[in-house]
Amino acid sequence: MRTALLFLASLGLVEGAVVLDRIAVVVGKSVIKLSDIDRDLRLTEFLNRQPLSLTAEARKKAAERLIDQQLIRTEIATGSYSRASDGDAEAMVTRLQRDRFGSVAARMSAELERYGLTRAQLRQEFLWQLTVLRFIQQRFQPGVVIADEDIHTYYNAHLAELQRENPKNSSFTALEPKIRDLLTGEDVNKEFETWLTRARQRTTIDYHQEAFQ
């Protein structure tokens, strides 16, 4: 009887039933569902102001993003990393509403609805993005050391550009902190990308290709 009900539900023949979700990718012991991929696509395209596209190719790209995210989630769960707060995420939602929709909640809600999203889903996405940023900073930044020589080299190589961007004061002393932060960020990103590549290599990733048809 249960088998019959599952079959009917998949066909939408049971009153109030929905189509059963499908597994798209298995990452280690975790599962990425087709609904996860669709939600990621909708959020990404909404934030990037791109037309909504749920093609097989777009889903594959979203799946790759979600694989990386799952690897990060696993690492966060095994370490003592601080997470962003709901207040931080809500502040980002409010900022987006102000900058893109003139602080009119109804306008943003209408656009979210057009992409099949809710404000709560947007807030959850921002919560995750902020948590990832914190993880990267806590996990990789402490090991990055920028030599003074590297800062001088960057300053001399980009002097003309720096003078255009900072016409009032383009001295080395004034720009040294900015250059140090820039080079630190670049090295942190390199360390993160190296870690992510290795995490993928040591994790079993099983794609269910039928979910992308």
Residue ranges per domain, the chain?
A: 2-143+201-212
Q: How far apart are CA 58 and CA 51, in angstroms?
A: 12
Global pTM value? 0.83
Predicted confidence at residue 10, as pLDDT, reads 33
Exposed, middle or buried, 87 (CB in 10 Å: 0-12/13-18/19+)? exposed
Per run of 10 residues, the mean pLDDT along the chain (length 213 residues) is: 35 44 94 96 97 92 97 93 94 98 97 97 98 96 96 96 94 96 97 98 95 82
User: Contact 24/207 with Cβ under 8 angstroms?
Assistant: yes
Can you tell me whether residue 33 is helix, strand or coil? strand
Predicted confidence at residue 129, as pLDDT, reads 97
Predicted confidence at residue 7, as pLDDT, reads 31
Predicted confidence at residue 6, as pLDDT, reads 32
Structure tokens at 202: 């040591």
Q: How far apart are CA 206 and CA 213, in angstroms?
A: 16
Structure tokens at 57: 């190719």
Dump strand ranges (E) for the chain: 23-27, 30-33, 205-207
Domain boundaries 2-143+201-212, CATH class = mainly alpha
Q: How far apart are CA 131 and CA 121, in angstroms?
A: 15
Task: Show contacts of 52-55: CB within 8 Å, 24+ apart.
Answer: 52/114, 52/115, 52/116
In the chain, how many H helices and how many E strands? 9, 3
